[in-house]
Amino acid sequence: RPPPATSPSLEGTQETYTLAHEENVRFVSEAWQQVEQQLGGGPAGESGPRPVQYVEKTPNPRLQNFVPIDLDEWWAQQFLARITNCS
């Protein structure tokens, strides 16, 4: 009998990103930047529908210390890691 298949270890594996993956991340990042700009007031004289910010009435206490990820910083770290690994 062959030994049972095991899942590959995450150690030593390098994530690969496809062009489609990077395009999706870029799209979401740019769209989010637009929303943040509109929520912050945006340029003077801009009209049209504006995003509505949702605020939870009774926040979950387990999420009290939640810090969202900064995608720009994360991508910068990934880029530098790839450069370092190629050297």
At residue 10, the pLDDT reads: 47
Q: Decide if 5 is inside a domain.
A: no
Q: Decide if 2 is inside a domain.
A: no
At residue 41, the pLDDT reads: 67
Q: Decide if 42 is inside a domain.
A: yes
Which residues fall within 8 angstroms of residue 48, CB to CB, at 6 or more apart?
A: none
- What is the mean pLDDT of the segment spanning 62-76? 90
Output the average pLDDT for the chain: 79
Q: Decide if 4 is inside a domain.
A: no
pLDDT surpassing 90 at residue 8: no
Q: Decide if 1 is inside a domain.
A: no
At residue 46, the pLDDT reads: 59
Number of separate domains in the chain: 1
Indicate the DSSP class of residue 7. Answer: P
pTM: 0.39
Q: Decide if 7 is inside a domain.
A: no
Please tell me the distance from the alpha carbon of residue 6 to that of residue 9, in angstroms, as a whole number: 9
Q: Which domain holds residue 70?
A: 19-85
